[in-house]
Chains A and B, each alone.
Chain A
């Protein structure tokens, strides 16, 4: 004849608010970190029973069960670039940023590698180096550490992250709008495999190392987007003469119009339009215009100048989708 165990009300003893708050604060250090109970630690469980068989209260302990906590091998890789990173054809030193996190419960080294030819994009970036960040999160080849597989595989504590830079060259043959994907792979040095795969005796603290849900390797992709621009120039001429006709007779004025059109998602910088004054014509002083506004012939603050043989208009940086119109005049001698 057994009695079901009940959580009897007589055992309820709710302490006052202030005492409970203090105790809750004291209990906080018992919380394990996100990576889990540290590999190599022991979980011990013992229960006790108290009872009265007529001779007062007796308390006994149960046997103790000890469980060794194995090392769980888990790692994640995350791209730190919120969007595709702009690049240009033939550019070197193009950087993708990743974060590698040890989600396991032991200290572990991770081998880094990249995959650039997995498809799903327009071209394969050429990975030239991998760098380990010095902690400031900003790529600097002078202060960050060049990574060599097997030589300086980053060692991470449980829950620790490290920033990794993948440096690549963009092939010269790519065109505007092309996308190139590079994936960073981080794999536990102890081993990888299906979740649950065990490496006997290789765990931190003497236990086994067991592959966790991530397979002990992580990967994430970052991408470059080619942002290039092309320039087309169209030149036209209109002749006017004192006779009111369009005949190119001596004394007639030729008005040249040069339209520069920039196309593509990128922009061109340092764009300048230069045109030599044709033979047997003479330049009309002060006739250069840019976008309908006159420019002086002198080399000065405005964009245009005439040096005796050619006109020059410096357009600077022009974004794709924009045009610039330059005109000047000559007189037929």
Chain B
């Protein structure tokens, strides 16, 4: 059994110091493991993985912080999805997604994919290549926040 660091979902905190940049972005990846305790109750644990296997559910957490003195306007966070990860969901953070390598963007339910026979089908989470959050208002000085999305190892 490999050494594993178990963290409860509620205890999820930025584990990496934010850089001394004006604006910092920290990236953490956890794997969701379902464990059943002695009473048969299922608990979802977030483990900081060194290794993963196909089918593992990953939780990507992005912590941003504006450590500068000026508001950060036109704030956009983009996460290209690793090729070996299938997008699952982004909770209620409503990101824009791209299904064509970052060229076009939209809500997933608005995007369509061309089929070989000329018809179009609705885009699926499987099609997602990039995820993007575009903030409509500036991040004030000292402001911070957290974004997340889930994916599955293909």
CB of A245 closer than 8 Å to a CB of B: no
**Of A6, A36, A60, A71, the contact of B25 (CB 8 Å cutoff):** A60
Given known contacts A60-B21, A62-B27, A65-B29, A23 and B101 CB-to-CB distance under 8 angstroms: yes
B82 touches A43 (CB 8 A): yes
Q: Give the distance to chain A from B43, nearest Cβ to Cβ, in Å.
A: 15
Residues of chain A with a CB closer than 8 A to B114's CB? 17, 20-21, 24
Q: Give the distance to chain B from A158, nearest Cβ to Cβ, in Å.
A: 9
CB of A208 closer than 8 Å to a CB of B: yes
Residues of chain B with a CB closer than 8 A to A8's CB? 96, 134, 136
Give chain B's interface residue range (CB within 8 Å of chain A). Answer: 35 or more
Given known contacts A49-B64, A49-B77, A105-B53, A62 and B26 CB-to-CB distance under 8 angstroms: yes
**Of A7, A60, A212, the contact of B134 (CB 8 Å cutoff):** A7
CB of A15 closer than 8 Å to a CB of B: yes
Residues of chain B with a CB closer than 8 A to A21's CB? 114
**Of A6, A26, A64, the contact of B136 (CB 8 Å cutoff):** A6
**Of A6, A37, A64, A71, the contact of B94 (CB 8 Å cutoff):** A6
CB of B6 closer than 8 Å to a CB of A: no
Given known contacts A21-B114, A27-B99, A69-B84, A36 and B74 CB-to-CB distance under 8 angstroms: no
B73 touches A52 (CB 8 A): yes
For window 91-120 of chain B, which residues contact chain A by CB distance below 8 Å?
Answer: 93-96, 99-101, 103-107, 110-114, 120
A19 to B74, CA, bound (A): 28
Given known contacts A37-B84, A51-B73, A51-B75, A45 and B105 CB-to-CB distance under 8 angstroms: no
Q: Which B residue sits closest to A8, measured CB to CB?
A: B134
Residues of chain B with a CB closer than 8 A to A44's CB? 82
CB of B125 closer than 8 Å to a CB of A: no
Residues of chain A with a CB closer than 8 A to B74's CB? 50-52, 57
A2 to B26, CA, bound (A): 18
A47 to B133, CA, bound (A): 11
Q: Give the distance to chain A from B97, nearest Cβ to Cβ, in Å.
A: 9
For window 9-35 of chain B, which residues contact chain A by CB distance below 8 Å?
Answer: 16, 21-29
CB of A67 closer than 8 Å to a CB of B: yes
For window 1-24 of chain A, which residues contact chain B by CB distance below 8 Å?
Answer: 1-3, 5-8, 10-15, 17, 19-21, 23-24
CB of A156 closer than 8 Å to a CB of B: no
A1 to B29, CA, bound (A): 27
A325 to B3, CA, bound (A): 82
Most B CB contacts (10 A, CB to CB) among A5, A30, A69, A70 go to A5
CB of B54 closer than 8 Å to a CB of A: yes
A5 touches B95 (CB 8 A): yes
B27 touches A64 (CB 8 A): yes
CB of B5 closer than 8 Å to a CB of A: no
Residues of chain B with a CB closer than 8 A to A3's CB? 135-139
CB of A41 closer than 8 Å to a CB of B: yes
Q: Give the distance to chain A from B148, nearest Cβ to Cβ, in Å.
A: 11
B100 touches A13 (CB 8 A): no
B27 touches A11 (CB 8 A): no
A3 to B72, CA, bound (A): 12
Most B CB contacts (10 A, CB to CB) among A67, A69, A70 go to A67
CB of B83 closer than 8 Å to a CB of A: yes
B100 touches A20 (CB 8 A): yes
CB of A54 closer than 8 Å to a CB of B: yes
Q: Give the distance to chain A from B150, nearest Cβ to Cβ, in Å.
A: 13
A-B contact sample (6 more), CB < 8 A, given A2-B143, A23-B100, A26-B101: A8-B134, A12-B96, A13-B103, A32-B83, A37-B154, A62-B27
Q: Could you list 18 A-B pairs, sorted by A, with CB under 8 Å?
A: A5-B95, A6-B134, A6-B135, A7-B106, A7-B132, A23-B101, A24-B100, A30-B83, A43-B52, A43-B85, A46-B27, A46-B79, A53-B71, A53-B72, A65-B27, A67-B29, A69-B52, A69-B53
